[in-house]
Amino acid sequence: MRLLGAQIITEVLLDHGVDTVFGYPGGAALNVYDQLYKYRDKIKHIMTAHEQGASHAADGYYRATGKTGVVFATSGPGATNLVTGLATANMDSIPMIAITSNVPDAFIGRDAFQEICITGITMPVTKHNFFINNIAELEDTLRLAFKIANSGRKGPVLIDITKDVTADSHEFENKKPLDLKEDPKADDKTVSEIANIINGAKRPVIYFGGGVTASDACEEMAEFIEKADIPATYTLMAAGVIGYDNPKNLGLIGMHGTISSNHAIDKADLILAMGTRFSDRVALNPQNFGKKANIVQIDIDRSEIDKNVSVDKSCICDIKDFLNKILPMVNRTEHKNWMRQIGEWKDREKIKEPDDGKLHPKMIMETICDKTDKDTIYVTDVGQHQMWAAQYIKHKNTKKFLTSGGLGTMGYGYGAAIGAQIGKMDSRVIHITGDGSFHMNLNEAATAVTENIPIITVILNNSVLGMVYQWQTLFYESRYSSTVPRRKTDYVKLAEGFGLRGYRAENKEELHEAFEKALLEDGPVWIECIIPKEERVLPMIPGGGNVEDMIVG
Amino acid sequence: MRDMQIKKEVVSVFVQNQANVLTRVVSLFGRRGYNIDSLTVSATNNPEISRITIVFNVTDSSLKQILTQTEKLEVVEDTFVLESENSVYRELLLVKVEAKDDNRGKIKEIVEIYRGKIIDLSQESMIIELTGVTEKIDGLLKLLEKYKILDVCRTGVTGLSRGN
């Protein structure tokens, strides 16, 4: 069957089960968009306000559904606007297919209108990218892109296609989706050696990350923790893998991690690092991280072994495979003394916010949790609110906490929330943001209104760029360089201007009332919560510091 | 603790023979903070595969890190270290030296001792070709410093492991 290049694109998408895409049209993408129009009953295209929003939407769509997100953009600025979204996905190992159109091949290299070498620009922020100026390569390349994005450690793949290729025609071979590359298998001998180490440990702790989410190993993880009686701490990327009320859940690790998790790592005799990469926000001082412990690392990506922290033993494999193999080998045991010690640390974690009639971060997060169910998806932006959400949301479920972990992309939230809601129309989506992050990409309100999707955006407004402000307070003698913008944004009016409902809350009662009303709306809602600018994210270990440097209150 | 001993390493990277491959490999080295001393790219007996030979200074633990990162590139088929004990390295030098009637003979003598070749000769200068390990080429250049070197071009190291 002979098809146009643009139609080969849509056909390959259908082959891979793609029924939703995000993007923004443009001159070079006209042929592609003409096909998307013709395929509109099979592929739903969500047009965002800005390509960056579309890229975050494709990312959020995957994180919520597990289905690869697809984003389209035109050449030049359309393509460059994807860069932050691709980098965000790349840092968090999120599969994504970005399809950009470029100027016709005859104009390539001549600085044509809206010409950009997007493959050159995105080389460091994608898992791989392709430039297609020959239609004969189109079908195979698109299929290969899906394979690369989803194999092993996942990541975004960009395909840049010249406009003439999209208009050209070629035989469509209608091959099947390619099989994914086989994951490395857990070596039996290594697993049994690790099991022996675990069975001999007195003070073991598990530290896991996004790899557990990526390999869908939550049940196995919970069973492992239970059977071997090992307390577990996790990174931002793995919130929700184990329930907030699991007694062995130590909470977040690292810079803003809990007292118990950071002390447990420091005193442990065994650390099992699973699907995680000892980032500088976790192993703040890599030389001292878990210095009394035997460190065992399990990861699918060989290059993560010994990258930031040297480990004593490693196993290169998928986490689920590892857990399934090791579960029968570990003894059902109890670490009574160790758990008692952990309990003492946990007792020091009770946080009490002032009862002064004002709104405070923990109170806001608890209110949100009380009014939403276990299927709710919480999406954050980046900054203080993100840390409070990670700390205080009662995480019950995996794939329900969407956040830019590695890149820390302010402005990630609204786009990602749209992607999540489009992918999970039956789930409630709460977008938690700060006034700083929200100002970056609040234009996506227009998209939420067009699609009439009931995302509730909760804006924690402290009128400053809180996280940087906090650092300036602590380490720069309160010189608030460019963190106090003195904006006069009226969120209620602005919401109205976008065609959605906005509320403002200054105390608990107003928040309750606004949230109840928001839950009844069919479309998007904003709730502005006024909080004091002095609120801090605590505990905190300053960058490069040790557990002894922890600031608790 | 990380091994901080810095050593010169020669690594071979087998890559798919397609556009932009060199950029992908070299930019990875650059953005991960590895400074390349020399680089050669060449065809192999398989037309679909090219070989990139990279020489750089690195600690043991960082060597493992950059190789595993390089192996993750979709275009990379394999990487390996050419250990000095069981590999041969070669580099090609072309050097143009001012050579007039009064010193041409002396320079020729040096070239012969080094088993180099004079491949171009004019009234004022000559071009010398020399193949060898880096140290040999450095040695010849050192001796030629006494004369006026007009231009130097070196290919950088390429190498193969011995035996099987």
User: CATH 3.40.50.970 in chain A, residues?
Assistant: 2-171, 361-530
pLDDT in tens, A86-112: 999 999 999 999 999 999 999 999 999
- Which among B27, B65, B74 has the least Cβ separation from residue A124? B27
Backbone angles phi, psi at A4, to 5 degrees: -70, 155
Average pLDDT over residues A201-223: 97
The reply to whether CATH 3.30.70.260 applies to domain A361-530 is no
Dihedral (CA of B27, B32, B36, B40) sign = negative
Beta-carbon separation of B72 and A307 below 8 A: no
Q: How many CB atoms lie under 10 A from the CB of residue A14?
A: 13
A214-254 tens-digit pLDDT: 999 999 999 999 999 999 999 999 999 999 999 999 999 99
Contact call for B2 and A310, based on CB within 8 A: yes
pLDDT, tens digit, 9 for 90 and up, residues B1-43: 445 789 999 999 999 999 899 999 999 999 999 999 999 999 9
Say whether B61 and A310 touch across the interface (CB within 8 A).
yes
Structure tokens at A203: 């003070």
Measured between beta carbons, the chain A residues lying within 8 angstroms of B16 are: none
Catalytic residue among A163, A325, A346, A424: A163
- Per-residue pLDDT tens over the stretch B64-119: 999 999 999 999 999 999 999 999 999 999 999 999 999 999 999 999 999 999 99
**Strand blocks (E) in A172-327:** 204-208, 232-234, 249-252, 270-274, 294-299, 313-316
Sign of CA dihedral A251, A254, A259, A265: positive
pLDDT tier at A174, thresholds 50, 70, 90? confident
pLDDT tens track for B45-69 = 999 999 999 999 999 889 999 999 9
Active site residue A467: yes
Q: Is A319 a residue whose pLDDT tops 50?
A: yes
A113 is a catalytic site residue: yes
Instruction: Tell me if residue B19 falls in helix, strand or coil.
Output: coil
The CATH code belonging to domain A2-171 is 3.40.50.970
Model confidence at A28, pLDDT cuts 50, 70, 90, reads very high
Q: Where are the domains of chain B?
A: 6-81, 87-161
Residues in B closer than 8 angstroms to A119, CB to CB, are 20
> Considering CB atoms only, which of A124, A303, A306 is closest to B61?
A306
Q: What topology does CATH give the domain B87-161?
A: Alpha-Beta Plaits (3.30.70)
Contacts of B90 (CB under 8 A, 6+ apart): B131, B132, B133, B157, B158, B159
User: Taking the mean position of all CA atoms in its chain, how far away is CA B83?
Assistant: 15
Q: How far is CA B92 from CA A446, B115, B153, B154, in A?
A: 63, 13, 8, 6
- Which residues, listed in sequence order, are joined to residue B132 by a DSSP beta bridge? B91
Asked if pLDDT for residue A213 goes beyond 70, the answer is yes
Q: In A, which residues are within 8 Å of B24 by CB distance? A: 123
Q: What is the pLDDT of residues A348-368, one digit of tens each?
A: 998 889 999 999 999 999 999
Minimal Cβ distance to A307: which of B27, B65, B73: B65
Give the 3-state secondary structure of A288-334: CCCCCCEEEEEECCHHHCCCCCCCCEEEECCHHHHHHHHHHHCCCCC
Q: Of B16, B72, B73, B76, which to mutate for an interface test with A (greatest number of A Cβ within 10 Å)?
A: B72
Give the gap in angstroms from C-alpha A537 to the nearest C-alpha of chain B: 31
ipTM for the complex?
Answer: 0.93
Round to whole Å and give the CA distance between B132 and B121.
22
Smallest CA-to-CA distance from B46 within B22, B70, B71, B78 is with: B78
Q: What's the pTM value of the predicted model, to 2 decimals?
A: 0.96
Domain with CATH 3.40.50.1220 in chain A: 188-347
Subunit contact A303:B71, Cβ cutoff 8 A: yes
Q: Is residue A272 within 8 Å of residue A204, measured between CB atoms?
A: yes
A188-347 adopts what CATH topology? Answer: Rossmann fold (3.40.50)
- Could you tell me if B111 and B104 are in contact, meaning their C-beta atoms sit under 8 angstroms apart? no
Of all residues in chain A, the percent with pLDDT exceeding 90 is 99
What are the backbone dihedrals phi and psi of residue A302, each rounded to the nearest 5 degrees, phi first?
-55, -35
pLDDT for B3 equals: 57
Tell whether the model's pLDDT for residue A154 goes beyond 70: yes
The CA distance from A98 to A100, in Å, is 6
The first and second tokens of residue A289, run together, are 């991280």
pLDDT at residue number B129: 98
Q: How distant, in Å, are the alpha carbons of A386, B32, B149 from that of A404?
A: 9, 22, 57
A289 vs chain B: nearest CA distance in angstroms? 11
| pLDDT computed for residue A350 by the predictor | 85
What sign results for the dihedral spanned by CA atoms A485, A488, A493, A498? negative
Our answer to whether residue A163 is catalytic in this structure is: yes
- Are B6-81 and B87-161 the same fold in CATH? yes
pLDDT tens profile A483-497? 999 999 999 999 999
pLDDT of residue B60: 86
> What are the tens digits of pLDDT across the range A423-469?
999 999 999 999 999 999 999 999 999 999 999 999 999 999 999 99
Q: Name chain A contacts of B68, Cβ cutoff 8 Å.
A: 302-303, 305
> Which CATH superfamily groups domain B6-81?
ACT domain (3.30.70.260)
Instruction: Check if the beta carbon of residue A137 is closer than 8 Å to that of residue A117.
Output: no
